[in-house]
Structures are given as structure tokens and as C-alpha cells.
């Protein structure tokens, strides 16, 4: 009889024995984040949803910022002038449209005889835009040009005009500065100008054709 009773209770006993260790194992299973306080069992679904939504908002904001930064760079051709290497390039994104050697300002100083006026022949750094472009430009010589040549400064404006010295084209970028050609091609690559950027005829022609009013120029 006892044996029979024992036999009958076996399934129930076995079941409990099988389940208990699993349950105990579950309860004592280590949490990767350490012990979980009882109240954290009650993390509201709303809290997690709020956090997930915050993550989504931040991710979207970051995507927008990254896009804004990348889109702030012009999608049209730009001119980059690296004065330390005397290189000029027109780029469309990462694609080089035209590049070549150039010359920048000599950094020299000139003073008039009275010492009242001085000029420093530097190429400015920073951001500029193409303000205009001219074919067959005529140079209107400034005062320093006459002083440098040891000539009297003319009173008549027309006596300042000089053709065929700036090359076939000139691209203006403000304050009297131009990208233009040169008669002294052997000096390209050295900083010998009065502040303008000199390039050879081939590069100049391509720049003239591709540049538009408003084209960005960065000189650095």
C-alpha cells in the first residue's frame, strides 16, 4: 500500500522537483547590470517608450545637422588657392575641374618718396566671391606701379591704362584683386605679385570659362 502511494505521488513530486530548481535558478540568475532593485521591475513601459522616442529625436537632429553641414558646402564649382604651395584649383565637390601653378603676393613693402604712403603686397586670405570677369583686360595702373617704376604719377586717368599685361582674361574678386595672366610665366610658383593671383594662360582660360559671378574663392 505504501509502495503504491509512493508510486502514485511520484509524478507530482517529480514535477515540483523539476520546476523548483529552474525557478530558483531564475530568481538567482545574475543580472548583467548588477542587482535589480525591486522598483525597477516596475519600469513603466511609458518610460522606455519616452527614452526610445528621445533617441529617435536626437538621431534625427544629428542627421539633419550632418546634412546641413555637408550641404553648406557649395554644390557648384569653387576655386581653392593654396598660397603655401602656389597651387590653384577649381573643384566641384571632390572632382578637380582645373588645377595649376599660381603666384601670390611677394609680401614686400613699398613707400613713396615722402614716406607718407606705404603699400604691402600681400594676397589676402579667406573667403571671396567672383565679382566679375573680363576678356582682354586693360590694367588701370595704381599709384604704387608708377612709384615702383620710378615714373611720375599721371593726373590724367587715361594715362593709367595699360593693355596686354594681365593676360587674356581677368577674374575680379574684390578690393582691386584679380586672378589674371602674366608675362613673367617663369616666375609662376613663386610669390612675386603685388597681391593678385597670377596663373598661366591655359589655366586662366579654363577658370574664366567655368567661373561665374558669385563663384566661391577660398585663399589659404
> For other proteins, which residue of 83, 98, 166, 215 counts as binding (CB under 8 A)?
83
> For other proteins, which residue of 58, 92, 162, 213 counts as binding (CB under 8 A)?
58
> For other proteins, which residue of 92, 102, 187, 215 counts as binding (CB under 8 A)?
187
**CB-based contact 154:193 (threshold 8 Å):** no
Nearest-angstrom CA–CA distance, 162 and 142: 11
For other proteins, the closer CB: 70 or 156: 70
Smallest gap, in angstroms, from Cβ of residue 45 to other proteins?
8
- The cell numbers describing 202, all together, are 591655359
User: Which residues in the 155-174 window bind other proteins by CB under 8 A?
Assistant: none
Q: Which stretch binds other proteins (CB under 8 A): 124-132, 152-160, 171-179, 199-207?
A: 124-132
Does 126 participate in binding other proteins (rule CB under 8 A)? Answer: yes
- Identify the helix (H) or strand (E) that includes residue 37: none
Nearest-angstrom CA–CA distance, 190 and 118: 23
- Identify the helix (H) or strand (E) that includes residue 219: strand 216-219
Q: Which stretch binds other proteins (CB under 8 A): 4-12, 132-140, 156-164, 201-209?
A: 4-12
**CB-based contact 130:173 (threshold 8 Å):** yes
Amino acid at each position: 500500500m505504501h509502495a503504491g502511494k509512493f508510486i502514485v505521488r511520484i509524478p507530482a513530486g517529480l514535477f515540483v522537483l523539476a520546476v523548483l530548481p529552474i525557478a530558483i535558478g531564475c530568481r538567482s540568475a545574475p543580472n548583467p547590470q548588477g542587482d535589480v532593485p525591486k522598483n525597477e521591475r516596475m519600469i513603466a513601459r511609458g518610460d522606455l517608450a519616452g527614452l526610445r522616442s528621445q533617441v529617435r529625436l536626437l538621431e534625427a537632429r544629428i542627421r539633419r545637422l550632418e546634412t546641413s553641414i555637408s550641404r553648406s558646402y557649395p554644390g557648384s564649382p569653387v576655386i581653392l588657392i593654396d598660397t603655401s604651395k602656389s597651387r590653384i584649383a577649381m573643384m566641384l565637390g571632390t572632382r578637380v575641374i582645373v588645377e595649376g601653378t599660381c603666384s601670390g603676393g611677394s609680401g614686400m613693402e613699398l613707400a613713396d618718396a615722402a614716406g607718407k604712403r606705404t603699400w604691402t603686397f600681400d594676397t589676402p586670405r579667406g573667403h571671396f566671391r567672383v565679382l566679375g570677369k573680363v576678356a582682354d583686360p586693360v590694367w588701370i595702373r595704381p599709384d604704387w606701379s608708377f612709384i615702383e617704376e620710378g615714373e611720375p604719377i599721371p593726373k590724367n586717368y587715361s594715362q593709367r591704362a595699360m593693355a596686354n599685361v594681365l593676360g587674356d582674361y581677368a577674374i575680379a574678386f574684390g578690393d582691386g584683386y584679380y586672378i589674371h595672366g602674366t608675362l613673367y610665366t617663369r616666375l609662376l610658383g613663386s610669390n612675386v605679385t603685388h597681391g593678385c593671383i597670377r596663373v598661366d594662360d591655359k589655366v586662366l582660360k579654363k577658370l574664366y570659362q567655368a567661373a561665374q559671378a558669385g563663384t566661391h574663392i577660398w585663399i589659404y
